[in-house]
Amino acid sequence: MPSKILLVDDEPKECFKSVLETVGLSPILLADNGEEALEVIERERPNLLVLNLLMPKMGGEEVLKVLKAKGLLDSIGVIIWTGFDDGLTRERILSNYSIDYYLDKPIDMSNFVDKVKLVLSKRQKPPQDINQRN
């Protein structure tokens, strides 16, 4: 089964999608905010979530809170990519959530692809049903 990757950002992300597809990674799913991300996660069950922190409607940290509350955070790979870093946010995210990498924008494309491949090599199963209660 191919690994599904969900890119979540309110900024253009099509170039990242294109690069990942060029190196043979697909399908690549897209969402513009956290609300859309949760809908896509429920419907598609991606193996990897690449998540921006600051977005309209629902930010990345709120998405992480929902996934953690539903017990799904350990079953999905997570890469944070953000242009915002006050130091405290990075520390809070890394200490409170099970994420694989925290990347600062601008993103080095080669490093990004390497990190995506590393996470996918560790995580081959899709997450549980997002509506399942523990």
pLDDT in tens, the chain (134 residues): 679 999 999 998 999 999 999 999 999 999 999 999 999 999 999 999 999 999 989 999 999 999 999 998 888 999 999 887 787 888 999 999 989 999 998 999 999 999 999 999 987 654 444 454 44
Tokens of 10: 């309110």
* pLDDT of the residue at 1: 61
pTM of the model: 0.88
| CB-based burial, 74-103: b 16+ in 10 Å, e otherwise | eebbbbbbbeeeeeebbeebeeebebbbbe
Domain 5-122 carries which CATH code?
3.40.50.2300
- The alpha-helical segments, DSSP class H, found in the chain are 14-22, 34-44, 60-69, 88-96, 109-122
Task: Spell out the domain ranges in the chain.
Answer: 5-122
